[in-house]
Structure 1
Amino acid sequence: MKTTKSGSSSRIAAFMSILVAVLLAATGCAPRVVGTRHVPDGNDMATMIKNGEIPYKNDVPPIALTGAGTYIANFSATLKVTGVVNTRMVMGETTSLVSSDGREPRHVFVVFYLCQPLSAKADKFSDGTIVYGGTGYPKIIEGKTYTVSGILQPHWQGNPLVYVPTANEFKQTTGSESFVDVPKDALELEVPAMPSPEQVVRDYFKYWNAKNLVEMEKRLTPDKRGIAQHLDALAYVKILSISERLPRTTGTKVFEVVFDLKFKNASYGATGINDGKNVWGFFLKRDNETSPWLIYDWGGGGY
Structure 2
Amino acid sequence: MADTTSPAATSSPKSQKSDTPPAADAAPIEVGDDNPADDDSALGTEASSSSASISSSILDYRTMHGRTYHSDRGTAQYCHHLLTIASEDKLHHAPIKKDIEESGPCSEIEDCTQPWTFHPDTFDYIHMRYLIGSVKDWNGLFEQAFRACKPGGWVESFEGAPIMQSDDGSVPDDSAMAGWGKTFIEAGKRLERSFTVVDDNVQEEGMAAAGLVDIESRIFKIPIGRWPKDQNYRNIGLFAQEALEGDIEGHVVHVADLAWGWSKEQVMVYCAKLRKEIRSGKHHPYYRIKIVYGRKPE
Compute the TM-score of the two structures, normalised by the length of structure 2.
0.25
- The structure, 1 or 2, with the larger RCO (C-alpha pairs under 8 Å, 6+ apart) is 2
Could you say which structure has the higher helix fraction? Answer: 2
Could you say which structure has the higher strand fraction? Answer: 1
Larger radius of gyration: 1
Compute the TM-score of the two structures, normalised by the length of structure 1.
0.25
